[in-house]
């Protein structure tokens, strides 16, 4: 029985310690995150984040674009402050307060959130952004009358219908001035002027006087800048500068846009409220900071304690579930090795996989033990028969019952050869298993090797009424141990001779490519049953259990052949059809990595 695991090394204790450490880090991180998040939220409420207060800026810019002063801004400030919970203050360009949503005397933030000036900033076209330019809501003298706006709507609807008939999807959009414009994703159709789109920029009767005034102011600006002004220069209802001087087009285009914008601002200035600075804050003193009270500290402490307790409980529960199968595995491993006990598999996690691997190892150990016992019995049987024969004949010869004739001595010699063959086979197998079997690879011609094996067994084949032939590719080089390969091929040919009836045929052949040599031994013998084919390379296995040990061999030849082929880095396979014959196939690498005299 294994010694008990020290408490400090216990998986359960380490799991609990790791869980506590994780919980402590999580609590500390949460507290830090909460504090920093709160501070950021307060900073945002102080007006340091523009995006969150974009709606306030948009509405105030809209008010400035539609009023000439800030005298009536109070109700709107109160409404915006009520919805946002912030203090909103407007300060003029000279530093005086214009209006505030609160009567608090607390100081303002050090920096303004934004400037409110519809003549220079557009917060209407793109929500949430403050773009350079004039706010479209600043209409001034260009606001259409109700009758003109209705005429614009009717014209825009006709154009939308006309474009729809041409397969162009469009819609009419009302502008702050009361004009209507047609928009479509198919800008090419609009540029081609379908359905009178080129006339969309025509001014109404009410727009023409301020446009003429704007054109004159733009022309005067260009003359002051030294730019030649063509007599046909005009400004459209869409505030685009039309007309160009072919002698200086670039200068007119550049300076013209600047002069047009300058003239528009001068024209619209009387219709807009003065520029102001917007301050948004909580109304708290400048020195105010977030601080934890005693109650907050108590809440954090109780929360941390609760989290630790829950973590310990969950970790203990999970840890016990993890440790239980490990203890079962330890108990199974501590039982008698001869019982081959299997561990229970109760989970499908890593512990379960460990139990499955342990059971596989136990099963392989049981099979190895059974093979060992069977091998010992087979070896005893193999040695008992010739030793019994030798002892029996020697005893009767000693007692004078049989004369020591040459035939008797030859029989005893054959029995001794059987013993020697079995012992040599066992020695080869033991050397291969122990990794001490030496190979001496060297370049050789595969065809010459097959010719030697064929010549060595031709007399035996002829005596049994068999025909043996060779089919070898010439000049097929191979790096291998020629003695060991002759041993392998000799074993295969001997088996073929023993199990092929008279009149049969045995063929040795070899083929190869750049990397591999394939050697086959084909006979027309009795064949092997498919159920027995998987066992032909097992040690001491015989398909015919009743045949003579002397004629049937020791049952180790094919096992040794497989070991020797594997030692060369190759493979050996058997294919057979009962009653038709058997084919043994060797596949060997042409260039072995084994050094001369190396161990297998």
On whether residue 595 sits in a domain, the answer given is: no
Q: How many alpha carbons lie under 13 Å from residue 22 in its C-beta half-sphere?
A: 11
Same domain membership, residue 571 and residue 497: yes
Same domain membership, residue 385 and residue 240: no
> For residues 491 and 147, what is the distance between their CA atoms, to the nearest angstrom?
116
Same domain membership, residue 180 and residue 42: no
According to the model, what pLDDT value does residue 244 have? 54
On whether residue 598 sits in a domain, the answer given is: no
Same domain membership, residue 577 and residue 444: yes
According to the model, what pLDDT value does residue 597 have? 44
On whether residue 242 sits in a domain, the answer given is: yes
Same domain membership, residue 400 and residue 308: no
Q: Which two tokens stand for residue 339?
A: 């019982």
Residue 588 — pLDDT band, cuts 50, 70, 90?
A: very high
Same domain membership, residue 193 and residue 169: yes
On whether residue 600 sits in a domain, the answer given is: no
Q: Give first-to-last CA distance, the chain, whole Å.
A: 39
Q: Which two tokens stand for residue 114?
A: 């934004």
Q: Is the pLDDT of residue 11 over 50?
A: yes
Quote the longest CA-to-CA distance of the chain: 156
β partners of residue 521: 508, 584
Same domain membership, residue 54 and residue 42: no
Q: In degrees rounded to 5, what are phi and psi of residue 248?
A: -150, 60
Same domain membership, residue 585 and residue 441: yes
Cβ pair 76, 59 in contact under 8 A: yes
On whether residue 596 sits in a domain, the answer given is: no
CA-to-CA dists, residue 129 to 57, 88, 125, angstroms: 9, 19, 9
**Which of 50-54, 352-356, 362-366, 458-462 bottoms out in mean pLDDT, i.e. has the lowest?**
50-54
Query: Into how many domains does the chain fold?
Result: 6
On whether residue 112 sits in a domain, the answer given is: yes
Residue 419 — pLDDT band, cuts 50, 70, 90?
A: confident
Per-residue 3-state assignment (H helix, E strand, C coil) for 493-526: HHHHHHCCCCCCEEEEEEEECCCEEEEEEEECCC
According to the model, what pLDDT value does residue 10 have? 63
According to the model, what pLDDT value does residue 190 have? 64
> For residues 55 and 58, what is the distance between their CA atoms, to the nearest angstrom?
5
The helix/strand/coil state of 181 is strand
Residue 104 makes CB contacts below 8 A (sequence gap 6+) with 87, 283
**Beta pairing, strands 505-512 & 467-472:** parallel
- Domain edge (last residue) among 160, 187, 206: 206
pTM greater than 0.85 (yes/no): no
Q: Which domain holds residue 85?
A: 50-138+273-281
* Nearest-5° Cα angle at 485, 475 to 479: 45
On whether residue 594 sits in a domain, the answer given is: no
- Domain edge (last residue) among 410, 436, 462: 436
* Residue matched to tokens 């691997």: 357
CATH for 468: 3.30.565.10
Same domain membership, residue 406 and residue 258: no
Residue 353 makes CB contacts below 8 A (sequence gap 6+) with none
Q: Which two tokens stand for residue 560?
A: 């040794």
């Amino acid at each position: 029985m294994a010694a008990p695991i020290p408490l400090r090394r216990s998986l359960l204790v380490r799991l609990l310690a790791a869980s506590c450490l994780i919980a402590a880090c999580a609590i500390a991180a949460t507290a830090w995150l909460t504090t920093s998040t709160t501070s950021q939220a307060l900073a945002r409420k102080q007006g340091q984040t523009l995006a969150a207060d974009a709606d306030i800026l948009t509405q105030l810019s809209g008010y400035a674009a539609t009023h000439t002063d800030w005298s009536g801004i109070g109700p709107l400030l109160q409404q915006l402050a009520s919805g946002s919970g912030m203090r909103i203050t407007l300060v003029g360009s000279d530093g005086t307060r214009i209006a505030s949503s609160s009567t608090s005397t607390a100081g303002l933030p050090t920096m303004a959130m934004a400037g409110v000036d519809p003549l220079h900033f557009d917060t209407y076209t793109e929500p949430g952004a403050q773009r350079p330019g004039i706010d479209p809501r600043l209409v001034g003298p260009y606001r259409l009358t109700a009758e003109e706006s209705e005429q614009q709507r009717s014209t825009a609807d006709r154009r939308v219908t006309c474009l729809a008939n041409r397969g162009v999807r469009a819609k009419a959009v009302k502008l702050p001035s009361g004009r209507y414009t047609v928009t479509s994703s198919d800008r090419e159709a609009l540029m081609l002027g379908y359905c009178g789109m080129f006339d969309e920029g025509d001014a109404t009767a009410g727009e023409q006087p301020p446009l003429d005034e704007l054109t004159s102011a733009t022309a005067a600006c260009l003359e002051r800048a030294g730019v030649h002004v063509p007599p046909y220069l005009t400004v459209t209802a869409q505030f685009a500068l039309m007309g160009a001087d072919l002698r200086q087009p670039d200068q007119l285009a550049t300076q013209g846009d600047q002069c047009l914008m300058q003239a528009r601002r001068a024209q619209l200035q009387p219709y807009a409220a003065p520029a102001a600075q917007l301050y948004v804050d909580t109304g708290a003193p400048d020195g105010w900071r977030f601080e934890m009270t005693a109650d907050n500290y108590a809440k954090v402490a109780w929360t941390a304690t609760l989290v630790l307790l829950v973590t310990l409980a969950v970790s203990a529960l999970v840890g016990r579930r993890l440790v239980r199968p490990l203890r079962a595995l330890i108990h199974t491993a501590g039982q008698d090795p001869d019982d081959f006990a299997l561990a229970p598999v109760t989970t499908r996690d890593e512990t379960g996989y460990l139990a499955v691997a342990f059971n596989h190892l136990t099963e392989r150990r049981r099979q190895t033990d059974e093979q060992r016992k069977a091998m010992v019995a087979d070896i005893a049987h193999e040695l008992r028969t010739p030793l019994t024969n030798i002892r029996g004949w020697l005893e009767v010869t000693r007692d004078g019952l049989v004369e020591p004739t040459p035939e008797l001595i030859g029989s005893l010699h054959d029995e001794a050869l059987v013993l020697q063959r079995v012992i040599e086979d066992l020695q080869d197998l033991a050397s291969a298993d122990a990794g001490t079997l030496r190979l001496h690879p060297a370049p050789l011609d595969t065809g010459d090797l097959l010719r030697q094996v064929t010549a060595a067994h031709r007399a035996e084949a002829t005596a049994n009424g068999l025909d043996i032939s060779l089919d070898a590719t010439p000049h097929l080089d191979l790096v291998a141990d020629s003695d060991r390969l002759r041993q392998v091929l000799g074993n295969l040919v001997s088996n073929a001779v023993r199990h092929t009836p008279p009149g049969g045929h045995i063929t040795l052949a070899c083929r190869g490519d750049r990397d591999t040599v394939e050697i086959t031994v084909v006979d027309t013998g009795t064949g092997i049953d498919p159920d027995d084919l998987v066992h032909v390379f097992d040690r001491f296995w015989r398909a015919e259990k009743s045949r003579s040990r002397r004629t049937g061999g020791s049952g180790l030849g094919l096992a040794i052949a497989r070991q020797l082929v594997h030692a060369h880095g190759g493979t050996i396979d058997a294919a057979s059809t009962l009653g038709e014959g058997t084919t043994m196939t060797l596949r060997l690498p042409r260039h072995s990595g084994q050094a001369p005299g190396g161990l297998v």
